[in-house]
Structure 1
Amino acid sequence: MQKFAKFHFKGQKNDESIILVIRRHWFDIFKQMLLIFFMIAALFGSLILLPLLFPIFTEATMHSLFVFLENSFAMFIWIVLFLIWIDYYFDIWIVTNKRIVNINQKGLFIRTVSELEFYKIQDVTTEVKGVISTFLNFGNVFIQTAGEKERFVFQQVPDPYAIKDLIMNLEEKEEKAGNCERARDEARELESVFRGKIDLSK
C-alpha cells in the first residue's frame, strides 16, 4: 500500500486509500510493438531497396515525392506508436479499500471511468489461456456483479490469481463490515422501540 501512497485519482474519497494500480501485462503492448517493428523495417527497407530496384526514384522530381512519402510514413509510425503507448499507460484499474475503479482510455480524447463497490460482487473468476499466458502468468479476471453490468473485467493483467485473491479478501472484509453495521443499526432500532417500555434504572 505504501507504494501507491502518493498516487491519487479524480473522484478519490477522503477516507479512501489505494491498494493496487494495475495495467495490462507488458506482453500485450509487446504484441502491438511487433507491428511497429515491421513498419520500421519496411520504412528502412524501402529507403534502401526502392532506389536500387526503381532508379526513377533517384530523379529530381520523383526523388522529392519519394522523400515526402517516406517522411509521411515515418510520421504515421510515430503517431501509431504514441497512440499505443497512451492507450496502454492510461488504461488502468485501481483497487482501493472501498471499490474498484476502471479508467479506460480510447485514443487521445475519449476516456470512460467505471467503478464497482465490493458489496455488489457475487463471484470472481480468472482465465489464463495458452502457453505464453501460463508461462508469463497473465490473463483475465472476471467479476460477476449484482448490478446492471453483469461483468467487470480486468483484461490481460499480470498475476490474475493474486488479483482475484485480493478482491475476494476485500469483498469479505466489506461483507463483515456491512454485517456489523447492520447489527448496530438493528440494535439501535430495538433500543428505540423498547425505550420507555422497560425501566432500565431498576
Structure 2
Amino acid sequence: MIDLGVPYSQIILAAEQTLYMVFISLAIGTVIALILSVVLVLTNPSGILKNNIIYSLVNTVVNIIRSIPFIILMVFILPLTKMIVGTRVGTTAALVPLVIFIAPYLTRLFENSILEVNKGIIEAAQAMGASHFEIVWYFILPEARGSLILSVTTGTIGLIGATAMAGAIGAGGVGDLALTYGYERLNFPLMLFTVIVLIIFVQIIQSVGNYFSAKVRGH
C-alpha cells in the first residue's frame, strides 16, 4: 500500500464525514428548495397564484444568499450555527451553512425545471377542477421529475466542493484531511489522493443522476 502519511482508517473516516455532510444537508436543502421554488413559480407575475409581495420577498432572499461566497457565509453565520447545534466546529456544525448554501442554489435550479413544464398541462389540470395543491403534486412535479433529478445531481456535486471548503473551520471530511495533513504538511501524495477521491464521488453521483433522469423520462 502507498504511504500517504496518515492511517487508512482516518481516510475512511474522512470519506464517511464528507458523505454525511453532503447527504444530510442535501436532504434538508432539497425539501426547503422544493417549497421555495414552487412558491416562486406559483406567485410569479404569470403564475396561477400571482402575488408580487411574496414573490419579491422570496426572490430577493434567494438572490442575496446566493450572492455570498460559501467561505464567507460559513464564517458569517457562526453565531447561528452555535445557537442551532451548540458548537461552531465539527461535521454536524457544518450542516447549518451547507443547508443555507444549497437551499437557494437548488431553488433556482428547481424553479427552472418547473418552469419548463408545458403550460398546457397546468391549464388542463385547472379545467379538470384540480386544486392548487393537486396541480403541483399530481401534474407539475411528476412532469418535471427528470429535470429535477438532474438539478439535485448538480446540487450534490456543488455540495461536495462546499464540504471541502468547510474543512477550513475544522468540519472534518476529505477537505479537512487535505488541508490539515496534505497542504499544511506539504504532503503531495495525500493531496493527490483526496483529489482522486472527490473526482470518484463526483463521477458516481453524476452517473447515478443521469441514469435515473433518463429512466423517469423513458429514454
TM-score by length of 1: 0.27
Which is greater in Rg? 1
- Of Structure 1 and Structure 2, the greater helix share is in 2
Q: Report which structure shows greater RCO (CA 8 Å, sep ≥6).
A: 2
- Of Structure 1 and Structure 2, the greater strand share is in 1
